[in-house]
Amino acid sequence: MKLSLNTLPRGRSEQIFDSIAQLQHDESIEWKPLSLILDLSIDHHDQSFYLKGHVTCTGLFICSTGMEEFEDTLEGDFEFILTYNSKHLDDNASEEIILIPGPQIEYDLYPVVHDIVLLAIPISHICGPDCKAGKALQEGIQEEAKPDERWAKLKDMFNE
Ligand SMILES: [Zn+2]
Residue 152 CA to its chain's centroid (Å): 51
Beta bridge partners of 2: 108
pLDDT at position 154, please? 72
Query: Is residue 151 a part of any domain in this protein?
Result: no
67 C-alpha vs ligand 1 centroid, how far in Å? 6
Residue 47, SS3? coil
64 C-alpha vs ligand 1 centroid, how far in Å? 7
Query: Is residue 72 a part of any domain in this protein?
Result: yes
**CB 95 within 8 Å of CB 78:** no
Query: Is residue 150 a part of any domain in this protein?
Result: no
Residue 55, SS3? strand
Question: Structural domain of residue 109, as residue ranges?
Answer: 2-130
60 C-alpha vs ligand 1 centroid, how far in Å? 12
| Model confidence pTM above 0.95 | no
Rounded Cα distance between 50 and 78, Å, is: 11
Mean pLDDT on 27-54: 95
**CB 83 within 8 Å of CB 99:** yes
Query: Is residue 140 a part of any domain in this protein?
Result: no
Query: Is residue 145 a part of any domain in this protein?
Result: no
Q: What is the count of structural domains for the chain?
A: 1
Query: Is residue 108 a part of any domain in this protein?
Result: yes
User: What would the pLDDT profile of 46-75 be if each residue is shown by its tens digit?
Assistant: 899 999 999 999 999 999 999 999 999 999
Quote the radius of gyration of the chain (alpha carbons, Å): 26
Query: Is residue 58 a part of any domain in this protein?
Result: yes
User: What would the pLDDT profile of 77-135 be if each residue is shown by its tens digit?
Assistant: 999 999 998 877 776 666 789 999 877 899 999 999 999 999 999 999 999 999 999 88
Query: Is residue 35 a part of any domain in this protein?
Result: yes
